[in-house]
Amino acid sequence: MTLFWSDFFSTLGCVGLFLLMLLGAGSFLARELKFPGFDDASGFERAGVALLCALACLPVMLDLAGRFGVVAMASLAGVIAFAGLPALMRGIGRPDRRAAAWLAVAFASVVVSIVLLIDWPMAGGLKHSLLIIDYVKHAESTWAIAQSATPPWNPAFYEPEHRAAYYYFFYTLTACVDLVCHHLFGAQARHAAYAGASVAAFALLALMAELWKRSGANEAVKSRSGSKSPIVWMIGLLLAAGLDLIPWTRMALDGQAPNTPETWADQITTWVSTALWTPHHAAALIAAFVGFIALARPAAPDPRRVLLAGLAFASAAGLSVYIAMGAAATAALWLAALLVNRRFRDAAGLLAAGALAAVFAAPWLATVVGRATGEAPIAFAMRNAHMLPYQFANPALDALAHLTVMALVYVIQFGIFALGGVAFWRAAGRNGLKTDIGLILVLSAAASFLIGSFLRSTMINNDLGWRIMLFAQTALLIWTLAAIRAGLLFDRKSLVSVASICLMIGYADIPLSFYLIRTAFPDNAMTRVLNLEERRAFTWLDANLAAGARMQAQPRQDFSFNFGLYGRFSAAVADYHEARLFGAANHDVNARIAELTPVFSSETTTIAEAETLAARYRLSGFVVTADDPVFDKPNAWVTQKSPAFASPHVRVYLFDAAARLSVNGLALESRAPGVALAQRAP
């Protein structure tokens, strides 16, 4: 079987197990915690609710269980999943022809997702997807948790006294999938991580269906579609983008096109890109809204729903701290509205859910807060301020100019959704606020715009400004769907051409994004050859070294993609980006990179110095490639030691001094005793 098909079927198997685990566990949790409407739901709706409840509750539950070890974490997921499967199957029943057709569409979407994610064989090597920029982190988090449970160690920076300070809850799910699938058919952590994209896509559709049903948006605009299912238009809007294609094309003509259309400005990430690139942020959004749905009327107050909301809010925090900020702001606004309307019992339920969330998330919060580096993680900044070509001397005029630019950029980025939102509120008026979920959508959109417009995160990218906008995107999708069904867009002559053009441009964005995902990753013929040979080297290491071993490749200032994607080994320092992302201090990372770089770059580094560094950081060895200057230097240390694995462009050097490894306090022997015997790549 070729590497492409091996990756394809391994990922497909992980998707199947991931969905089975979530559907079973979610069915049990939705039933026991009384998710509103679950008992009366059937078919796809029942499966969708189960998916939502699993993503809302399991992450924090697995984090707490993982503190007792990997076995406890995986066992909890398995027990809950098996407990819920019978009820799920009884509710779904036998699929009819229409259901079978939808299942075929779902399968096709999984295939597209996998093909976009996995490596493609090309010219004697492997071509990476652009998506691995994020998936190296997803894969590293997955295998780190599968080996160390929670909280995981920093896979990209060796510091035994600390654990990773990161929102890692989503990877408790992928780690459970990895543990089972690796045992069943040899799947790797990256395959379990890839599976998250399909899961996120299905869950986002389920979320929109639940919010649509409870928002009252259809009734607010007196839709003429009545009870006709909105599913086709809902999928259509999830597949649409804004008008990013216009500025992207302009930049492309100047030779400055970004790798994805939405990154021409502080991005409003399309739903397709959210599922493909950052399924953990999608899961956090889902968890937040599950918490609100559990507490919203017309559902009768129930302590079990308060518990459901508490678990969901806690999960949201550990899935994405940026989404959690939006959820907290929304909850504060809703609490104020409840108090103004003298709904004290509902307000008490919201406060109780918040208190429970704080208790459930406390162990994770202690890990994150305990690793504060002294740098402010959030800063005040006007969104897209760099797009104003000059600064006005008058501060008020300058602020007005910035706000005008910001508003214009928003209109371009939201496209059809901006048009639909305006049309909806012109028709709905106060009717759009009649239900709790309708009000929560408004409040979440307001919080989204307020935070996303004037605050930004300082760690590497403005993830806060990018991810917080998912709340506004959710509300605008629901409102646009209502406007379309009410004939407010495509049935009115004054708007039909504008709406149609916006939608067509939005759809054209997606195939362009897919094309860029498969072609825009920067590489060359040698890089692709190294991808293939490094994959084989790490596959050999995985079979011959104990779990939890540490290996070191050349540390980089950007990304060490192959090390995180193909291996299951932590490093003294893998690269600056990932080491910082998981909580290591800036000066420590730079110092470690400077200390280890000569092993790969300096011909004067001796074998004794290499062995000393290996012992200092408890490394089992070094992975040296043709990209490293010492690889073919006649006087370098690599000529004084026989590689344990060798291919034309990659070698692995192991050291006896690091043969005994410590994993969770247990001493393990390396399974590669013959370090002086070279193993040629197949």
* CA–CA separation, 378 and 456 (whole Å): 6
CB atoms within 10 A of CB 628: 21
Whose CA is closest to 642, among 668, 678, 617? 678
Contacts 24+ apart (CB under 8 A), 345-349: 345/301, 346/295, 346/297, 346/301, 349/295, 349/301, 349/305, 349/306, 349/309
- Rounded to an integer, the average pLDDT of 91-105 is 82
Q: Would you state the pLDDT for residue 327?
A: 98
Element (H, E) at 183: helix 170-185
Indicate if the pLDDT at residue 679 is higher than 50.
no
Structural contact between residues 320 and 167, judged by C-beta atoms closer than 8 angstroms: yes
Q: What is the C-alpha to C-alpha distance for residues 547 and 540, in angstroms, rounded to an integer?
A: 13
For 501-551, what is each residue's pLDDT tens digit?
999 999 999 999 999 999 999 889 999 999 999 999 999 998 888 878 899
Say how many CA atoms lie within 13 Å of 396 toward its Cβ.
Answer: 0
Place of tokens 């992980």: 14
Tell me the C-alpha distance between 293 and 309, whole Å.
8
Side chain identity at residue 438, one-letter code: G
End-to-end CA distance of the chain: 14
Say if strands 455-457 and 551-552 run parallel, antiparallel, or are unpaired: unpaired
Distances (CA, A) of 572 to 185, 367, 547, 622: 30, 21, 16, 11
CB 447 within 8 A of CB 336: no
Q: What is the pLDDT of residue 656?
A: 59
Which has more confidence, 442 or 44? 442
Q: Which of 560, 538, 466 is nearest to 132 (CA)?
A: 560
Per-residue pLDDT band for 434 (boundaries 50, 70, 90) equals very high
pLDDT digits (tens, 9 = 90+) for 50-84: 999 999 999 999 999 999 999 999 999 999 999 99
d(CA 134, CA 377): 20
Across the strands, what pairs with 234?
none
pLDDT tens for 69-78 read 999 999 999 9
What are the structure tokens assigned to 617, written together? Answer: 């950081």
pLDDT of residue 134 exceeding 90: yes
Return the structure tokens found at 64. Answer: 């707490």
Measuring CA to CA, which residue among 160, 155, 164, 158 is closest to residue 190? 155
Q: What is the number of other CB atoms lying within 10 angstroms of the CB of residue 591?
A: 12
Q: Is a pLDDT exceeding 80 seen at residue 671?
A: no
3-state SS, 79-97, equals: HHHHHHHHHHHHHHCCCCH
Percent of the chain at pLDDT exceeding 90: 75
pLDDT of 658 over the 50 cut: no
Q: Report the pLDDT averaged over residues 597-615.
A: 93
SS3 of 125-159: the string is EEECCCCHHHHHHHHHHHHHHHHHCCCCCCCCECC
Question: Residues 179, 180, 184, 187: is their CA dihedral positive or negative?
Answer: negative
CB-CB neighbours of 409 under 10 Å:
18
d(CA 655, CA 649): 20
Confidence of residue 666 (pLDDT cuts 50, 70, 90): very low
The percentage of residues in the chain with a pLDDT greater than 70, rounded to a whole number, is 93
- Say whether pLDDT at 160 is over 80: yes
pLDDT recorded at residue 226? 58
Q: What is the mean pLDDT of the chain?
A: 90
As a whole number of angstroms, the distance between CA 127 and CA 119 comes to 5
∠ CA 427-429-432, rounded to 5°: 100
CB atoms within 10 A of CB 610: 26
Give the amino acid at 81. A
User: What is the pLDDT at residue 677?
Assistant: 37
**pLDDT exceeds cutoff 70 at 388:** yes
Residue of 255, 314, 307, 259 whose CA lies nearest to 288: 314
User: Looking at residue 493, what is its pLDDT?
Assistant: 67
Length of the chain: 682
Mean pLDDT of 442-467: 92
Helix axes 321-340, 344-369, angle to 10 degrees: 160
pLDDT band at 372 (very low <50, low <70, confident <90, very high): low
Q: In angstroms, what CA-CA distances link 365 with 316, 332, 457? A: 12, 20, 18
Longest dimension (CA), the chain: 81
Please state the pTM of the whole predicted model. 0.93
Q: Is pLDDT of 271 > 50? A: yes
CA-to-CA dists, residue 646 to 125, 309, 631, angstroms:
16, 54, 12
Q: How many degrees, rounded to 5, is the angle at CA 137 between CA 196 and CA 672?
A: 105
Residue of higher predicted confidence among 168 and 90: 168
pLDDT score for 200? 98
151 cis-preceded (ω within 30 degrees of 0)? yes
Task: Render pLDDT for 293-312 as a digit per residue (tens, 0 to 9).
Answer: 999 998 788 899 999 999 99
Residue 665: pLDDT band (50, 70, 90) is very low
Enumerate the β-bridge partners of residue 556: 575
Q: What is the pLDDT of residue 301?
A: 82
Rg of the chain on CA atoms, in Å: 26
- Taking residues 439-446, what's their average pLDDT? 98
Q: Which of 60, 71, 16, 26 is nearest to 46 (CA)?
A: 26
Beta bridge partners of 575: 556
Q: How far apart are CA 433 and CA 440, in angstroms?
A: 9
Residue 680: closest CA among 641, 639, 645, 642: 645
Residue among 657, 666, 605, 597 at smallest CA distance from 633: 605
pLDDT for the residue 437: 97
Q: CA-CA distances (angstroms) from residue 442 to 8, 107, 412?
A: 41, 34, 21
Average the pLDDT over 230-241 and give the result.
Answer: 95
Phi, psi of 556, deg, nearest 5: -125, 160
For residues 49 and 311, what is the distance between their CA atoms, to the nearest angstrom? Answer: 16
